Amino acid sequence: MTTRSSRGGRSAPGPKKSGRTRRARREALTFAAFTFPNFLLLGVFVFWPIFYSLYLSFFKWDMIAPRKRFVGLENFRIMFSDPVFWMVTRNTLTLAFFVVVVKMTIALALALMMNRNMRGRSLYQAVIFSPTFTTSVAVAMVWTWILEPDYGLLRVFMRPLGIPPVNWIESTSHSLPAVIIVLVWIGIGYDMVIFLAGLKNIPVEIYDAALVDGVSPVQEFFHITFPLLSPTTFFLTITGFISALKAFDIIAIMTAGGPLNSSNVIVHFLYQNAFKWFKTGYASALALLLFVIIMTITLIQNRFSRRWVHY
């Protein structure tokens, strides 16, 4: 309902319209009250460190001197001319590739097994998933003992077979594979559960129709199961690569990046430069490069996902 103005004859807003305006204002204030703390935390602990790290990458600073010395792109020039940096980058990409591929392959095979009606399925799922919520420190210490060349648990099983001991942790050729094995083991359970959830969402009628048409199990997997699991596979690929590229705690405890940087990765190399050698500017340049690598790989995966991901 509207009322006439005494002067211009224009209609004035009625009580219903003003009531809606006040309600919209209250809803906006409520939304702001609930979201402001989240945006504040994101700004303080996420966005500000990113921009400050970008700022520090153009300076030489040891976190002790009161002033920072501007060096421009010198940190990046040193980084790209450092052979250790290229070794660390190669280790990081190698670790990320093998961890994601091996972990997801084993997790998918286990999810296909757990999706069947089998006795003790819940127990098997709990056992496989248990490393996921185990602390990284405990996992690294246990696996360091398992891989110990003289008295480790793996040596106990290898000795009767006559297999010579392998010094996994202190060998330049085995330290990185040892870290990959541990990262695969600790992440299989999570991927299996996500794959299992994806399998549960595939309609049973599709498999019934394929059975009537005489489709073989191999054809069923490649033409039904895997295409319908492509969104789940895409999600695990993206998150798996990001997690593997940021691997730190297992490496820091098991190998400390050694020997001779054979198992060193970008995040651990960044930590060494920032908090052991106090090269804050160089470490900030490494952090910026890691951000660019993660963004590039994510964008490439997202670009090519249009060809094989079916929603």
Paired sense of beta strands 59-60 and 3-4, if any: unpaired
- Domain 84-308 fold is MetI-like fold (1.10.3720)
Residues 6 or more apart whose Cβ sits within 8 Å of residue 88: 261, 264, 265, 266, 269
- How far apart, in whole angstroms, are the C-alpha atoms of residue 207 and residue 69? 66
Alpha-carbon distances of 309 from 104, 162, 206, 232, rounded to whole Å: 16, 47, 18, 9
User: For the segment 186-244, what is each residue's pLDDT rounded down to a tens digit?
Assistant: 999 999 999 999 988 888 888 888 888 888 888 888 888 888 898 999 999 999 999 99
Q: Count CB atoms within 10 A of the CB of residue 217.
A: 9
DSSP 69: E
Which residues share a beta bridge with 60?
Answer: 69
Alpha-carbon distances of 21 from 5, 14, 209, rounded to whole Å: 20, 11, 55
By C-alpha distance, which of 158, 136, 134 is closest to 146? Answer: 158
Which residues share a beta bridge with 3?
Answer: 12
Alpha-carbon distances of 138 from 131, 220, 240, 254, rounded to whole Å: 10, 41, 21, 11
Paired sense of beta strands 11-12 and 3-4, if any: antiparallel
- How far apart, in whole angstroms, are the C-alpha atoms of residue 115 and residue 201? 11
Helix (H) or strand (E) holding 12: strand 11-12
User: Would you say residue 132 has pLDDT above 90?
Assistant: no
User: Would you say residue 268 has pLDDT above 70?
Assistant: yes
pLDDT value of residue 178: 93
pLDDT value of residue 13: 53
Rg of the chain on CA atoms, in Å: 28
Place of tokens 């127990």: 123
- How far apart, in whole angstroms, are the C-alpha atoms of residue 82 and residue 179? 24
User: Would you say residue 265 has pLDDT above 50?
Assistant: yes
pLDDT value of residue 2: 45
pLDDT value of residue 264: 93
Would you state the structure tokens that stand for residue 200, as one six-digit string?
Answer: 């549960």
Q: Region 105-125: what's the mean pLDDT? A: 87
pLDDT value of residue 105: 94
Would you state the structure tokens that stand for residue 142, as one six-digit string?
Answer: 């246990």
Compute the CA torsion angle 240, 242, 248, 250 (nearest 10 deg). Answer: 0
pLDDT value of residue 203: 86
